């Protein structure tokens, strides 16, 4: 049994299989999952686990070179926006900001969508894998 790291075996496998520029999405419990994309559903009940807790934990173990968020997050979920800015400062991590509709289209190319129990609007991100060397 693994002692440290991501204990969820599905997430651990997805992270281990990522290569440079591969992407995964982490979203709220309402984020649609495109046909053919692996869905890892962590939702236990409304609000749990939270979007930010899941993103923060994944960021400990994934080399992330850029993130993709919907522009609507800034106005409609400013608290989440600020937390993301703190976790992924632009001087270290590239940001792609698009409309929510464009964001949803971009999820069709991710390796997996990890759905949380989050119930606040626009709590979604696509994480782009960097390279560790």
Of 20, 68, 100, 128, the catalytic one is 20
3-state DSSP assignment of residue 99: coil
Element (H, E) at 98: strand 94-98
Q: Express the helix, strand and coil content of the chain in percent, nearest 5 each.
A: 35, 25, 40
Closest by Cα among 27, 24, 70 to 49: 27
Tokens, residue 100 = 């929510």
68 noted as active-site residue: no
> What is the arrangement of strands in the sheet containing 64-70, beginning at the earlier edge strand?
38-41, 112-115, 23-27, 125-129, 64-70, 94-98
- Active-site residue set: 20
């Amino acid at each position: 049994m693994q002692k440290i790291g991501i204990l969820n075996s599905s997430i651990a496998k997805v992270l281990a299989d990522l290569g440079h520029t591969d992407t995964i999405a982490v979203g709220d419990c309402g984020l649609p999952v495109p046909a053919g994309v692996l869905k890892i559903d962590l939702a236990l009940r409304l609000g749990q686990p939270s979007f930010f807790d899941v993103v923060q934990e994944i960021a400990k173990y994934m080399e992330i070179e850029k993130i993709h968020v919907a522009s609507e997050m800034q106005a409609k979920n400013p608290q989440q926006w600020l937390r993301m800015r703190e976790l992924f400062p632009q001087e270290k991590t590239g940001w792609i900001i698009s409309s929510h509709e464009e964001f949803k289209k971009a999820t069709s190319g991710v390796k997996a969508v990890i759905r949380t129990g989050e119930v606040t609007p626009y709590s979604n991100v696509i994480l782009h894998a960097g390279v560790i060397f």
